[in-house]
Structure 1
């Protein structure tokens, strides 16, 4: 029997936040990853605000293991994925997975958060995303918005916190102008956790703002899928999309 091949270290890399509730929410994702796959070496890293930095975690992991996969705990591509994480894995034995979005499971979580927030049939929906100047990030958000619109059976307008337009307050007003009497503007927070961007969404003038995505075990399942695919690529195997 062939010896078992050690699995790469999984480094879950998030943006980082000063918000205490946001830190707990992000940590819950990796907690669920460990619960779903006991024995896997799972470590936490950040690209901003918090420590340790992703490059340092990758370097440290490679001193005790032959392979490392960084999974961005981010919803789309952008500077941190394309620069910070790419630079961190620019060494033998290291690879980066793609971000968590788009993914149908994210659409399902968004729909659940809206239901929990009391979405009504005559409400208008805005999908609020952090935003990025990278064009591919907007494409990914629009994909999620289209999926959510199909799931809900109603239009979904995208608003961004930064980096792209329209901004969330503008999107909220656009939707409000088309509402029937009694309708409300409800925001689906396409954000992983509470923090700076969610605070701005709360100030954007909507009638109702749904909770962010985490905690939810489905996020951990996405993380593991991204990890498994990146591991295949790292080892030169077939890619499962």
Structure 2
């Protein structure tokens, strides 16, 4: 009696979705880098809001051919991870990886973006995060902020776009109140791509706003690590007879 090994799971890179053309291009760059790094993989895109195709449709469409792993192209957990992604993979042959953050490589990218923006001695650094009401998301952001502070060797504070406090303009104002006259407030954009939240960061009153995380090939490596962590889980529950509605 012979058995056939399951094919390599499809990697579905799932992001929030955005109306920003630059944001769409930045997110697409992650999927391009994943495909370049692992040309053996079937890499597909999906979204939980704004853009098409929708995540459940992509998962259902992939499962008849192969196990399927959804990698959230999101920086922390929250509603989309715990509800949208979880529901989409609640079927045999599907599994979900962890969100992108926290991860030391994200800290390194943030540090590089600040260097590119011209961070100098005497500047105050504020990390701008999208924000979430989920406590786990706040802990994840705090871990990245602490890592960046250690990497830079200086204090780093945080502001949020929504869901948590302080909001970015308040964090920027607080940082400015403690500055020497020659110092600047520089924002590290803990955001994957341009879009609504980055636009609001540029309106926060900061002197300098560093670029978001994408594009950067290290993001693809993080996504592939998340995929590899759960690929066996997807494969062991998949069979060639699996149906979309199973």
After TM superposition, is the score higher than 0.5? yes
Residue 212 of structure 1 aligns to a residue whose secondary structure is coil
1:48 match: 49
Corresponding residue of 1:202? 202
Counterpart secondary structure, 1:128? strand
Give the TM-score taking structure 1 as reference length: 0.95
In the TM superposition, residue 233 of structure 1 has moved relative to its aligned partner by: 3.6
The residue aligned with 2:216 is 216
Instruction: Answer whether contact 2:17 2:48 (CA < 8 A) is retained.
Output: yes
Instruction: State whether residues 105 and 218 of structure 2, in contact with CA within 8 Å, keep that contact through their aligned partners in structure 1.
Output: yes
Kindly report which structure 2 residues correspond to 1:102-181, keeping only aligned pairs within 5 A, or say none. 102-181=102-181
* Shift >6 Å, 4+ stretches: none
> Which residue pairs with 1:89 in the alignment?
89
Aligned twin of 2:242: none
Larger RCO, structure (CA 8 Å, separation 6 or more): 2
Deviation at 1:235, TM superposition (A): 4.7
RMSD: 1.2
1:239 aligned residue: none
Deviations 1:131-174 (A, max 9, x none): 00101000000000000000000011010000000000000011
Relative to the length of structure 2, the TM-score reads 0.93
Shift of 1:191: 0.1
- Name the CA distance, whole Å, in 1 between partners of 2:52 and 2:198: 22
SS of corresponding position for 2:63: helix
Aligned to 2:18: 17
Number of residue pairs the alignment of both structures matches:
234
CA shift for structure 1 position 234: 3.4
Q: Which residue does 2:39 correspond to in 1?
A: 38
Matches within 5 A, 1:186-201: 186-201=186-201
The change in CA–CA distance for 1:4 and 1:38 in structure 2 (over 3 A counts) is: farther
The offset of 1:5, in angstroms, is: 4.6
Tell me, yes or no, if structure 1 residue 58 matches structure 2 residue 59. yes
- Structure 1 SS opposite 2:64: helix
- Measure how far apart 1:180 and its partner are: 1.2
State the distance in 2 between where 1:74 and 1:22 align: 13
Q: What are structure 2's unaligned runs of at least 5 residues?
A: 237-246
SS at match of 1:182: coil
> Does residue 69 of structure 1 match 2:69?
yes
Q: Structure 1: how far apart are the matches of 2:146 and 2:154? A: 10
User: Residues 71 and 96 of structure 2 are in contact (CA less than 8 Å); yes or no, is this contact kept in structure 1?
Assistant: yes
Separation in 2, partners of 1:3, 1:36: 26
